[in-house]
Structure 1
Amino acid sequence: MSAYARLERARLADLLLETGPDAPTMCAGWATRDLAAHLVVRDRRPDSGLGLLVPPLAGHGEHVRKQKAAEPYERVVAQIRRPPWWSPVSNPLVHELANHAEFFVHHEDVRRGGDTWEPRDLDADETRALWRLARFSSRLALRRLHVPAVVRAPGVGEVKVGDGPAVATLTGHPGEFVLFFFGRQRATRLEIEASPELEQQLRTRRFGT
């Protein structure tokens, strides 16, 4: 199994230190300190997610995150870099599966949070790993929309989603698909061949997190 979750984790920690605690991100309302706190809480405080199951506890996770965001920034980033040996999302059995998309997307949330950015030049192995994530996320999202479509990553792969003739063709790098279907459409570079109405729907739909 690849180790790209760990690599993206390390890259993001480096970038967070480089940008500092107050840089913009693609996560609405969050600066880098807020995003860093989210990642540490996700790793270390599984109780923060109880609000998803128990509505009266809906504010607990945000309270925990804000407490973490108030801590010294360098210490928070150090906790991202060195996750606990065991948690629901960081143990050796699930780390890669649970975290490659998470850390790739949040790395790009920081990279693309400002006005100027360019897609990274990723190696072939990580591109293939991202294509596996892209196939899964695109199938899930497009089937929910009941949109038959072709998802095409030139030189990497192509997949048909849904039944019947395709009414849309989406073309781009696998990493752009991952970002797109995690709700970062405004800062992704995908070509969409579809009716104007459907293209607008795809570019503004609330996907992912």
Structure 2
Amino acid sequence: MTRHAQSERLQLCDELDRLGPDEPTLCEGWDTRDLAAHLLVREHRPDLTAGRFVPFLAGHLEKEQAKIAHGDYAALVDRVRRGAPVWNPMAHPKVDEVTNLIEFFVHHEDARRAQPGWEPRELSPQLSGKLWTALKRSARLMFRKAPTGIVLIAEGQGRHAARLPDEHGTVVLRGTAAELVLYAYGRKSVARVEFEGDADDIAALQQTDLGIS
């Protein structure tokens, strides 16, 4: 089995090493050290991750994650590179592929596309296919706040109805699987997608926060 999630993890860690700890990312308020700390907490500190969903625990998560972020940066990136600990189900290759492909792909682009002069990567057809499959699984959740119907058309992959229309019409989003993933996960400012639909519907979609939050 080709481990695309593992490949994205390693490439992201190489990028974090290259950039150093203080470069911007597309994650609001996070520089590269904060992004690395988030990835470590996600796999190594399940006791803290509840703070992402329970408001009164958020302060504890932020405090501990900041402490990790301001430790030894090279060691932090190296721990992320080595992957989840053996007790975490994400250490299993099949679980890693399902749970981490989008995570590491999107955060890889968060680091890359926050830097000047970036261009989209040339992805293999296999990776593009995996991204498209993963997006179809999560599209209903990612577009749940959309004020319109949503149809995704990925170059070379096919189409997928992510959200049915209600009182508004349907907006069609076209692009590569990678760019549609980035748009769906809230990276609208850098996602190279094309829109078809009523101008007001497109404007309403562009003004809507997408993703998990």
TM-score (normalised: structure 2):
0.89
2:29 is matched with 29
In the alignment, structure 2 segments of 5+ residues that lack a partner are none
C-alpha deviation, 1:199, in angstroms: 1.6
C-alpha deviations, 1:143-168, integer Å up to 9, x for none? 54363232111222112344469621
Secondary structure, counterpart of 2:209 in structure 1: coil
RMSD: 2.0
CA distance in 1, matches of 2:140, 2:35: 27
2:141–2:211 contact (8 Å) kept in structure 1? no
2:173–2:196 contact (8 Å) kept in structure 1? yes
CA distance in 2, matches of 1:182, 1:9: 18
Q: Say which of 176, 182, 185 aligns to 2:185.
A: 182
2:155–2:176 contact (8 Å) kept in structure 1? yes
2:43–2:90 contact (8 Å) kept in structure 1? yes
CA distance in 2, matches of 1:120, 1:7: 14
C-alpha deviations, 1:32-63, integer Å up to 9, x for none? 01101111111110011122454432211111
Q: How does 1:1-209 map to 2 (within 5 A)?
A: 1-52=1-52, 54-83=54-83, 84-87=85-88, 89-92=90-93, 94-145=95-146, 147-163=148-164, 167-209=170-212
1:46–1:88 contact (8 Å) kept in structure 2? no
- Are residues 68 and 88 of structure 1, via their aligned partners in 2, closer, same or farther at CA, if it must alter by over 3 Å? farther
In the alignment, structure 1 segments of 5+ residues that lack a partner are none
Secondary structure, counterpart of 2:189 in structure 1: helix
C-alpha deviations, 1:144-195, integer Å up to 9, x for none? 4363232111222112344469621110000111111111111110001122
1:24–1:114 contact (8 Å) kept in structure 2? yes
CA distance in 2, matches of 1:40, 1:89: 12
Secondary structure, counterpart of 1:116 in structure 2: coil
1:138–1:151 contact (8 Å) kept in structure 2? no
CA distance in 1, matches of 2:56, 2:156: 49
